[in-house]
């Protein structure tokens, strides 16, 4: 395991319980995010359904929401403590410890995958390895929904979610992400994508990609965006309220 994976795992192990408390209502307060997830779920189910992986699932808030939308979804996260919290919060769902650079999944085994800001701690030079893994586990025609931070710089966090930690956060230009996903064998799904400026956290982007069959040349197409659904809650550890989110 590389140094950045060690530090990222250790940081999220430290903050797992308070991270869940702080972000518990985030999706309920984000109608655009729910809209994107809803369209993704609709398209996966409309294509016949199948297993969906929430890659970098954290405490399982996106995994739980997708399950409520009818998907056969499970979560994978680098942090064992995050997985423990996710299993506690969503006892009927499956959560495993793993890394996006070497997923313990069979080739062509997923109808869909979600990477909801889970690549923001990956150094840009390592993104091609991650994106090739995404393509490897997606069945031809399978969908990848990605959310990431837009920009061309990195920020180091030494304190967040009420704890000292050691995290690098990377922003990437959409065109660079698009090029890397295209190189990995994915094609931007026509008809929708979205971008908005987050409160205090700068521009963010969500976009959907389709795994292309081996005999199809990858291409990128620009697109617009959709609309709504709900959130989830569980009792949490005291002391999480009132803490400020990191401004990354």
φ, ψ of residue 12 to 5 degrees: the values are -75, -25
User: Looking at per-residue confidence, does 32 or 241 come out higher?
Assistant: 32
φ, ψ of residue 107 to 5 degrees: the values are -60, 145
CA distance 63 to 168: 24
Is the Cβ–Cβ distance between 114 and 48 less than 8 Å? Answer: no
CA distance 176 to 74: 28
| C-alpha distance from residue 90 to each of 59, 67, 95, 227, 232 (Å) | 9, 10, 9, 26, 10
pLDDT at 73: 98
CA distance 76 to 100: 9
Domain boundaries, the chain: 3-211
For 58-121, give the DSSP string. TTSHHHHHHHHTT-EEEEEES-HHHHHHHHHH-TTS-EEE--TTS-SS-TT-EEEEEEESTTTT
- The single residue listed with the structure tokens 């698009």 is 178
3-state secondary structure of 28: coil
Tokens of 165: 């930690």
Which of the given ranges, 24-28, 83-87, 201-205, has the highest pLDDT on average?
83-87
Residue 85: pLDDT band (50, 70, 90) is: very high
Quote the radius of gyration of the chain (alpha carbons, Å).
Answer: 17
* Residue 219 pLDDT exceeds 80: no
Question: Which fold is adopted by the domain 3-211?
Answer: Rossmann fold (3.40.50)
- The single residue listed with the structure tokens 């620009």 is 222
CA distance 87 to 77: 12
Is the Cβ–Cβ distance between 194 and 173 less than 8 Å? Answer: no
* Residue 117 pLDDT exceeds 90: yes
Residue 248: pLDDT band (50, 70, 90) is: very low
pLDDT at 90: 97
Tell me the pTM: 0.80
CB proximity list for 235: less than 8 A, separation 6 or greater: none
Residue 14: pLDDT band (50, 70, 90) is: very high
pLDDT at 161: 87
- The single residue listed with the structure tokens 């969500």 is 206
Residue 233: pLDDT band (50, 70, 90) is: very low
* Residue 217 pLDDT exceeds 50: no
CA distance 74 to 86: 11
Instruction: Return the number of other C-beta atoms located less than 10 Å from residue 8's C-beta.
Output: 23
Residue 209: pLDDT band (50, 70, 90) is: confident
Q: What would the pLDDT profile of 127-180 be if each residue is shown by its tens digit?
A: 999 999 999 999 999 999 999 989 999 999 999 888 999 999 999 999 999 999
CA distance 18 to 125: 30
């Amino acid at each position: 395991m590389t140094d950045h994976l060690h530090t990222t795992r250790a940081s999220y192990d430290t903050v797992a319980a308070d991270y869940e408390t702080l972000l518990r209502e985030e999706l309920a307060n984000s109608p655009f995010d729910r809209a994107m997830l809803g369209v993704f779920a609709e398209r996966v189910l409309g294509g016949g359904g199948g297993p969906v992986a929430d890659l970098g699932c954290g405490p399982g808030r996106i995994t739980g929401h997708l399950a409520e939308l009818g998907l056969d979804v499970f979560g994978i996260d680098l942090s064992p403590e995050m997985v423990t919290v996710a299993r506690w919060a969503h006892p009927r769902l499956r959560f495993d410890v793993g890394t996006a650079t070497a997923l313990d999944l069979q080739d062509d085994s997923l109808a869909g995958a979600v990477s909801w800001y889970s690549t923001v701690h990956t150094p840009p030079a390592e993104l091609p390895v991650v994106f090739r893994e995404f393509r490897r586990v997606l069945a031809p025609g399978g969908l990848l929904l990605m959310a990431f931070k837009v920009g061309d710089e990195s920020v180091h966090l030494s304190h967040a979610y009420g704890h000292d930690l050691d995290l690098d956060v990377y922003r990437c230009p959409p065109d660079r992400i698009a090029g890397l996903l295209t190189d990995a064998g994915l094609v931007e799904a026509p008809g929708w994508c979205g971008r908005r400026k987050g409160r205090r956290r700068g521009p963010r982007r969500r976009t959907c990609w389709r795994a292309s069959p081996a005999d199809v040349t990858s291409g990128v197409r620009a697109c617009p965006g959709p609309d709504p659904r709900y959130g989830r809650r569980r009792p949490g550890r005291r002391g999480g309220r009132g803490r400020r989110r990191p401004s990354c």
